[in-house]
Amino acid sequence: MFKVVVLGGGSFGTAMAAHVADRKSQLEVKMLVRDPQVCQSINEKHCNFKYFPGHNLPENVSATTDFKAALLNADFCLHAVPVQFSSSFLERISDYVDPCLPFISLSKGLELNTLRMMSQIIPQALRNPRQPYIVLSGPSFALELMKKLPTGQLH
């Protein structure tokens, strides 16, 4: 079974976790979230009550607040942490990130204080210039994904 870890339990991380899990029911989709109440809601009720109280998540989505547990044996990583917090977040988890783990960055925009893009932040914060990554971009909204509406994405 393949494991996809989603870093971030906000609206876009939740929507992408649901989207990926819906497409491949045999995937294990593990969300790394900060809020223990959101974690409990996802695991017990299959719902992120904070961002999408009216939407159920697929059964193959679960959550944890533990970096190591989330990243252990992950095959892919969807990075959905806001850009402004990405550098410090990635530095905190860097010891648990496999140097070959492919990252798919869902975060949009520039880091305000440095003007760095995610393509610069990921390898620098993880201290691995060869960390595999792609950046997903394009016009999309989390609610559109949750409602399974068409959206445009580029990589």
How does pLDDT run across 59-104, given as a tens digit for each residue?
999 999 999 999 999 999 999 999 999 999 999 999 999 999 999 9
Strand 28-32 versus strand 3-7 pairing type: parallel
Cα Rg of the chain, angstroms = 15
Say what the pLDDT of residue 155 is: 44
Is the predicted pLDDT of residue 146 greater than 60, yes or no?
yes
Is the predicted pLDDT of residue 124 greater than 50, yes or no?
yes
DSSP 154: B
Strand partners, 104: 78, 134
> What 3-state class would DSSP assign to 25?
coil
Q: Residues of 56-81 as b/e, b for ≥16 C-beta within 10 angstroms?
A: ebbebbbbbbebeebbeebebbbbbb
CA distance 23 to 37: 27
Q: Across the chain, what does the average pLDDT equal?
A: 91
Q: Which amino acid is at 38?
A: V
Say what the pLDDT of residue 135 is: 87
Tell me the mean pLDDT in the region 123-152: 75
